[in-house]
Amino acid sequence: MIDLHTHSIFSDGELLPSELVRRAEVIGYQAIAITDHADISNLDFIVPRIVSVCDDLSSKWRIRAIPGIEITHVPPSIISKLEKRARNMGAKIVVVHGETTVEPVPPGTNREALLSDIDILAHPGLITEEEVKMAKERGICLEITTRAGHSLTNGHVAKLAIKIGARLVLNTDSHSPCDLITLEKAKTIAMGAGLSEEEFNKLRKNSMGILEKLKV
């Protein structure tokens, strides 16, 4: 299992980064990214700490811990600026909190995220066909999520991505220990979103491709 979207106590998660990574390792994770929620107020605080702990854990344990960030509920026009700032501080994975149907995310977030140099657009809700085409053209992965609420539009996202040929990844958006899942559970959720077993295997390769690109 490769999970590129999780949260620790540095935003609204329940676990220290070390415990989050350790629990993931024990249930068979190959890699996990810690991508705590950030806006302009806390980005400078979170990223250096996550970078430090991920470096230590990856050198000591058998799991790859990847420092990242999830840019969340910000004015769409500053997404690109925050992405660049996070990269400069050492974030390897940049996720943007997409226009989920269960939170009041500012309209235009999906589009501005897809115009930025991000890795993953998380739970993009009722994303448009035009936006999915942008994701394909820019090589940005769209997320199939296991998180309650956000997952309500998984089928819509999967259907458009398969039709257009955009890349998908599956992440947990974990906030607590019970949110982490096995590979078998991930497969069940992907197939519940309408993906075939072949498409699920391609989704897993997309996650691995992000790691290979980042050389982590």
> Which pLDDT score is estimated for 216?
64
Map residue 174 onto helix, strand or coil: strand
% of residues, the chain, pLDDT over 90: 98
Question: If you average pLDDT over residues 54-81, what whole number do you get?
Answer: 97
- Name the residue with tokens 């050198």: 59
Distance, in Å, from the CA atom of 1 to the CA atom of 27, rounded to the nearest integer, reads 9
Residues sharing a CB contact under 8 Å with residue 30, sequence separation 6 or more, in sequence order = 1, 2, 63, 64
pLDDT per residue as tens digits for the range 106-164: 999 999 999 999 999 999 999 999 999 999 999 999 999 999 999 999 999 999 999 99
% of residues, the chain, pLDDT over 70: 100
Largest CA distance in the chain: 44
Could you tell me the two tokens for 36? Answer: 């705590």
The architecture of the domain spanning 2-214 is Alpha-Beta Barrel (3.20)
> Which pLDDT score is estimated for 214?
83
Check: CB of residue 144 under 8 Å from CB of residue 168. Answer: yes
Q: Where are the domains of the chain?
A: 2-214
